[in-house]
Structure 1
Amino acid sequence: MRFILLVVTLLTLTMPTIAQDSAATSAGDADIDTLIKIIENDTSRAALIERLQQSASAEPAVPAEAPPDLSIARQLAEYTRSVAEGASSTFAAIGQVFSDLQQGFSGAANGDLTAFRDIAVGVLLVGVGLFGSFLILRIVVLWLQGMIASRIANRAWYMRLLGAVGAAAIDGGSVVLAWAIGYVLALSVIGGASGRMGINQSLLLNAFLVVEMSKLVVRAVLVPRHAALRLLPVSDSNAAYWSFWLARVISLVGYTFMFVAPVIAANLSVGAASAVQALVMVTAVVIGVVIVLQNKLDVRQWLNDLAQKRDKDGLGQIFVMVGQFWHLVAIGYLIALLVVWFANPEQALPFMIGATVQSVIAILVGALIVAFVGRFVGIGLKLPEDIRTRLPLLEARLHAFVPHVMQVVRWVVIAGVVLAILQAWSLFDFLGWIGSEQGQQIAGSIISAVLIILVCIVLYVVVASWVEYRLNTTVGKAPTPREKTLLNLFKNAFTIALVVFGLMLALAQIGVNIAPLLAGAGVIGLAIGFGAQKLVQDIITGIFIQFENVMNEGDVVEAAGKSGVVEKLTIRSVTIRDMSGTVHLIPFSSVDQVSNMVRGFSFYVAEFDVAYDSDIEAVKQVMRDAFVAAMQSEHRDVVIDDLDLQGLVSLAGGAMKVRARIKTMAGKQWGIGRLYSETVKRMLAERDIRTPSQIVTYRTIDRPAILPPLDDEAATQP
């Protein structure tokens, strides 16, 4: 029958034209008649069988796959369907768990309680010996740890570290010794003459070792009884609180899953063991929720304090946001952990616990890196004394980079922690992505851009330090005013060029096309050249002033009607402080001439007015003697030539004007000039040589005076 049906199907597929030309009924009869004739004839039947064999051996044509629907609506529908199917399977699994628990309890009631009682007696004997010996050893350990804590109190940090390690080693030794005592007891007492112990005693001993070693880690970190051995900045109350609850949860979960549940499953029923595990998991989650709610406000206040210390910057805002909602996330995580355990304890629960442990480790490592880098940068930026003498601003410049460097390090570490958490929870395969061609290309571009920025920063620090060293007057050769001006201009120009080229190269490394930026910069520069002609004139004039070396910083000049000391000189403007202390910013486009009063050498021109009847030679002698007296003062080192006595230079206004010049170093003429003028004034007075202001001329006016008549009393008075 199978052969006949196969032949009918084949004929139906290979003769579509017959089926289309005939009616349905007649076609069916014709097919049957034809099939009968073929089967009755040996030759035709053999040909049909050969044809069927060839058709079976031929590979079926694979239909072309339709292109996948990549629309957002289709993807959203697929995601919604997968979520719904996952939720349905989860609820079904939870229902199956409760069904198994019910069957387990009923099976446990029908189990062999007598055998279970015998096993419990043997386990109880081993447990009494195990935990009794451990309790005695704990008393000795606490006494030894107290002695260590008293010896290292208020000592250096490395002594405290050694003490903490020693105390943890003693505690671990007590756990191992108690575990060994339990094994000896199980082999000698329970095993009897055979020296063999049951699997239940072995389960208890192994559970004891794992649980107590886990509790040992908590005790070594928190050290609730001895604050001197505690390395973390945790108060005594918090250390005792967390140590108590963590130890209880570890003991509850550890002993249940590693000892109680396997014993019940092996001797009573699997359902009873599952029931105990479910009860313990629910209890552990309830304890976790209670702990979260008890510490909700304390953790929020702690995170807010951290944000206040950081002045609520970007990381501080994250702390504030986490403090507002951390308890909800923690409670949701605990409930999800319970649901996942109910749904798929063999696969989902180990994955979730492993991802949680990896996430916690990533967070702790990130915090340690940030703390170590912060401490290293804060302590390690103390330069030697000779370098600080040569480069007094280098240490301050490096310290100025510390906040920015720490900010970058923090965000890099945060990004690394986030990637590690995503990798742990299989939300983003960072290792697979970084191993791909695209990932390596992107990572290489980012690393190249970062290296370019670091090189630019190092170059800036090196050039700025070199300029600072050249301008330092306490080390080496004192810089000239020309060097001061050019070095400051060079540092400014180098900084601008470094920022522009560094930014362009960094953008080019991360894939940004900088050609439009360069073209746009050229267009903008051309527009500025046409629209800001005054600015262009400032720059061009400033360039020629620098080439011609007309003035430098520290020179006393007159420019654009303002005279004073040049305080700052840029490529566009000059800053002058006049005699009254007023600062004038003068663009070079307003400067048509510059008068430099301190270039090469200087003259103090002394001019004095004396009366017409004064002796010119006596006046000249006074000027010579005053110069000799001035050369006896502290200003003698600035005078570079003898007195240039020019004598009488003009007769006007009822006075004679005499002049003398004192040649001095550049910019040193005013001190010696004031002293010389004071000395001349004093000597003129001593030698009775009058100035025009000392001569008073009285003139008589010829006109009758009208006087009032005198009375008799006034006439008799002398």
Structure 2
Amino acid sequence: MDGFDWAGFWAGVGSFLATYEAAFRIVGVIVGAAVLRWVLGVVIRRVVDRVVSGVKKAQNVEHTVELSASPLHAVRVVQRTRTMGTVLNNLTTWAIVAVAIVLVLGELNFSVTALIASAGILGAALGFGAQNVVKDMLNGLFMVFEDQLGVGDIVELQSTQGPVSGVVEIVGVRVTQVRDVGGVLWYVRNGEIINVGNKSQGWARVIIDLPAPYTSDVDEVQRVLLDTATAMAAEPEYKRKVLEPPEIWGIESISAEALVIRLVMKVRSGDQFDMARALRLRLKLALDEMGVAVPSLNRIVMDGIDAREAARSSRRPVTPPEDSDL
């Protein structure tokens, strides 16, 4: 070992490194990009998992918190968080790959500036040709980030192709899937959505307009309606769904046939439909016990253009006879 030529050895190593310097740099760029992508992926995944696990734990809290955070809201938070995590992962991957490719091409003595200019022109051409797809994706990302809708929400969408209402099943980056009350699954492009009406965010209100005979005792009818709604709101089955005590807003309209009395109840979002059905049944039974018959409101008076249009639309279409001897 004492006679080993260390100077020559290190000179050979230096010559080897100088010869394959570009190759080592390329390998370093690739390894560095892979490590950076792995680190960022771990960070994003941990953040998403922590948010999701926090939401799941929040669903086991006491009654007061359950009032402000319904299961639909929790599903929406989880879905939005996971969507954001997927988007961030994709953006991170593409950004790191693009930078790594540019650095590798630079080490190979390619004209990176000309390549970037060419890629920009190609990207502009593709963006112009696929502008609808880009619009769908951008609109979908904004809807997710802004929490306009989420999985399990009951929504009414106004799109360029017409209105769509139902329960959201999937919120994609490009297409949102909504299943209506008849079971039909609608695929709505995000770029075509103009307005979003969400019935599952925050809170909802049960509104019942109940007609009573014109000659009835209005104060007594209102008292019975309010007592019935208050008793229902106090039942254990419905107590957690009610956010505020029921209210009588008074007479909504007056006609020769009936007085329409409005009863309202503020409830948790998503529960307004079940609560309204149960409340209607109890109000019906209470009015029957009181001896109040709900009057019929079937009279329709039309004149002028409306009457003519209704008459024309109600006529049975006449099918012309088949060709005969003329």
TM above 0.5, yes or no, is yes
Larger CA Rg, structure 1 vs 2: 1
2:210 and 2:44 map into 1 onto residues whose CA distance is 53
Q: Which residue of 1 aligns with 2:191?
A: 589
1:644 and 1:509 map into 2 onto residues whose CA distance is 71
CA apart distance, 1:484: 4.1
- Alignment of 1:626 onto 2:228: yes
Seen in structure 2, the aligned counterparts of structure 1 residues 627 and 451 have a Cα distance that, compared at 3 Å, is: same
Seen in structure 2, the aligned counterparts of structure 1 residues 658 and 517 have a Cα distance that, compared at 3 Å, is: farther
- Alignment of 1:496 onto 2:94: no
Seen in structure 2, the aligned counterparts of structure 1 residues 546 and 436 have a Cα distance that, compared at 3 Å, is: closer
**What are the superposed Cα offsets for residues 483-532 of structure 1, whole Å, 9 maximum, x if unpaired?**
54653343233222222123234433374646555434422331233333
Checking the alignment, whether the CA contact within 8 Å between 1:627 and 1:676 is kept in structure 2 is: yes
**2:38 aligned partner, one-letter code:** I
**2:87 aligned partner, one-letter code:** A
After TM superposition, the score normalised by the length of structure 1 is 0.32
2:89 and 2:97 map into 1 onto residues whose CA distance is 12
Q: Which residue of 1 aligns with 2:31?
A: 450
1:572 and 1:456 map into 2 onto residues whose CA distance is 25
Residue 592 of structure 1 aligns to a residue whose secondary structure is strand
Show the 5 A alignment for 1:121-200.
none
Q: Which residue of 1 aligns with 2:271?
A: 668
1:438 and 1:582 map into 2 onto residues whose CA distance is 67
2:115 and 2:186 map into 1 onto residues whose CA distance is 37
CA apart distance, 1:641: 2.0
Aligned residue pairs, count: 263
- Alignment of 1:637 onto 2:213: no
CA apart distance, 1:677: 1.4
Checking the alignment, whether the CA contact within 8 Å between 1:450 and 1:506 is kept in structure 2 is: no
Seen in structure 2, the aligned counterparts of structure 1 residues 463 and 540 have a Cα distance that, compared at 3 Å, is: closer
2:37 and 2:83 map into 1 onto residues whose CA distance is 19
1:648 and 1:627 map into 2 onto residues whose CA distance is 17
Residue identity (%)? 24
Residue 670 of structure 1 aligns to a residue whose secondary structure is helix
CA apart distance, 1:655: 4.3
**1:591 aligned partner, one-letter code:** I
**What are the superposed Cα offsets for residues 8-38 of structure 1, whole Å, 9 maximum, x if unpaired?**
xxxxxxxxxxxxxxxxxxxxxxxxxxxxxxx
Q: Which residue of 1 aligns with 2:125?
A: 527
Show the 5 A alignment for 1:488-637.
488-507=82-101, 508-509=103-104, 511=107, 513=110, 515=113, 518-539=116-137, 541-542=139-140, 545=143, 549-560=147-158, 561-570=163-172, 572-633=174-235, 634-637=237-240
1:535 and 1:675 map into 2 onto residues whose CA distance is 45
CA apart distance, 1:639: 1.9
Checking the alignment, whether the CA contact within 8 Å between 1:606 and 1:661 is kept in structure 2 is: yes
1:568 and 1:603 map into 2 onto residues whose CA distance is 26
Residue 558 of structure 1 aligns to a residue whose secondary structure is strand
Checking the alignment, whether the CA contact within 8 Å between 1:538 and 1:572 is kept in structure 2 is: yes
Checking the alignment, whether the CA contact within 8 Å between 2:230 and 2:246 is kept in structure 1 is: no
Q: Which residue of 1 aligns with 2:281?
A: 678
- Alignment of 1:659 onto 2:249: no
> 469, 491, 499: which is aligned to 2:50?
469
CA apart distance, 1:605: 0.5
Structure 2 residue runs without a partner (length 5+)? 1-12, 60-68, 298-326
Checking the alignment, whether the CA contact within 8 Å between 1:605 and 1:659 is kept in structure 2 is: yes
**What are the superposed Cα offsets for residues 394-430 of structure 1, whole Å, 9 maximum, x if unpaired?**
xxxxxxxxxxxxxxxxxxxxxxxxxxxxxxxxxxxxx
**What are the superposed Cα offsets for residues 172-229 of structure 1, whole Å, 9 maximum, x if unpaired?**
xxxxxxxxxxxxxxxxxxxxxxxxxxxxxxxxxxxxxxxxxxxxxxxxxxxxxxxxxx
**What are the superposed Cα offsets for residues 322-381 of structure 1, whole Å, 9 maximum, x if unpaired?**
xxxxxxxxxxxxxxxxxxxxxxxxxxxxxxxxxxxxxxxxxxxxxxxxxxxxxxxxxxxx
CA apart distance, 1:537: 3.8
**1:492 aligned partner, one-letter code:** T
Show the 5 A alignment for 1:112-511.
435=16, 437-439=18-20, 441-443=22-24, 445-446=26-27, 448-472=29-53, 473-475=55-57, 483-484=77-78, 487-507=81-101, 508-509=103-104, 511=107
After TM superposition, the score normalised by the length of structure 2 is 0.65
CA apart distance, 1:559: 0.8
Seen in structure 2, the aligned counterparts of structure 1 residues 522 and 485 have a Cα distance that, compared at 3 Å, is: farther
Checking the alignment, whether the CA contact within 8 Å between 1:611 and 1:691 is kept in structure 2 is: yes
**What are the superposed Cα offsets for residues 569-611 of structure 1, whole Å, 9 maximum, x if unpaired?**
4554433333344433322332222212233321101122344
**2:86 aligned partner, one-letter code:** N
CA apart distance, 1:661: 0.6
CA apart distance, 1:467: 0.7
**2:222 aligned partner, one-letter code:** K
Seen in structure 2, the aligned counterparts of structure 1 residues 681 and 569 have a Cα distance that, compared at 3 Å, is: same
1:594 and 1:436 map into 2 onto residues whose CA distance is 62
CA apart distance, 1:660: 0.6
Checking the alignment, whether the CA contact within 8 Å between 2:226 and 2:247 is kept in structure 1 is: no
Please state which structure has a larger fraction of its residues in strand: 2
Residue 680 of structure 1 aligns to a residue whose secondary structure is helix
Please state which structure has a larger fraction of its residues in helix: 1
Residue 576 of structure 1 aligns to a residue whose secondary structure is strand
Higher relative contact order (CA closer than 8 Å, sequence separation 6+): 2
Seen in structure 2, the aligned counterparts of structure 1 residues 524 and 476 have a Cα distance that, compared at 3 Å, is: farther
**1:593 aligned partner, one-letter code:** N
CA RMSD of aligned residues (A): 3.7
2:214 and 2:127 map into 1 onto residues whose CA distance is 64
Checking the alignment, whether the CA contact within 8 Å between 1:603 and 1:669 is kept in structure 2 is: yes
> 266, 275, 291: which is aligned to 1:688?
291
**2:56 aligned partner, one-letter code:** T
Checking the alignment, whether the CA contact within 8 Å between 2:83 and 2:144 is kept in structure 1 is: no
Residue 691 of structure 1 aligns to a residue whose secondary structure is coil
Q: Which residue of 1 aligns with 2:309?
A: none
2:250 and 2:123 map into 1 onto residues whose CA distance is 60
1:617 and 1:654 map into 2 onto residues whose CA distance is 18
**2:90 aligned partner, one-letter code:** I
Seen in structure 2, the aligned counterparts of structure 1 residues 518 and 573 have a Cα distance that, compared at 3 Å, is: farther
1:548 and 1:449 map into 2 onto residues whose CA distance is 36
1:497 and 1:545 map into 2 onto residues whose CA distance is 18
CA apart distance, 1:460: 1.7
Seen in structure 2, the aligned counterparts of structure 1 residues 671 and 688 have a Cα distance that, compared at 3 Å, is: same
2:32 and 2:138 map into 1 onto residues whose CA distance is 36
Seen in structure 2, the aligned counterparts of structure 1 residues 515 and 471 have a Cα distance that, compared at 3 Å, is: farther
